[in-house]
Amino acid sequence: MFSRLMQVVKLGDKRKERRVKTRFPAEVAGLKGRVTDVSLGGFGFYPDDQGLDIGDEAIATLMPDEFTTLEIPSRIVGMDEEGMILSIAFMKVTEEQFEPLQDIITSQTLG
Tell me, yes or no, whether 5 lies in a domain.
Answer: no
Q: Residue 29: its pLDDT value, please?
A: 96
Tell me, yes or no, whether 4 lies in a domain.
Answer: no
Under the banding of pLDDT at 50, 70 and 90, the label for residue 12 is very low
Q: How many domains does the chain have?
A: 1
Tell me, yes or no, whether 67 lies in a domain.
Answer: yes
Q: What is the mean pLDDT of residues 34-61?
A: 96
The CA-atom distances, in angstroms, between 108 and each of 15, 67, 72, 84, 100 are: 19, 15, 18, 22, 12
Tell me, yes or no, whether 10 lies in a domain.
Answer: no
Tell me, yes or no, whether 22 lies in a domain.
Answer: yes
Q: What is the mean pLDDT of residues 27-51?
A: 96
Q: Residue 18: its pLDDT value, please?
A: 75
- Please state the pTM of the whole predicted model: 0.82
pLDDT at 13 > cutoff 50: no
**Residue 100 · residue 68 · CB < 8 Å:** yes
Give the type of residue at 52: L
Tell me, yes or no, whether 12 lies in a domain.
Answer: no
Q: What is the CATH number of the domain that holds 23?
A: 2.40.10.220
Q: Which domain holds residue 48?
A: 17-110
Q: What is the pLDDT of residues 59-95, one digit of tens each?
A: 999 999 999 999 999 999 999 998 899 999 999 999 9
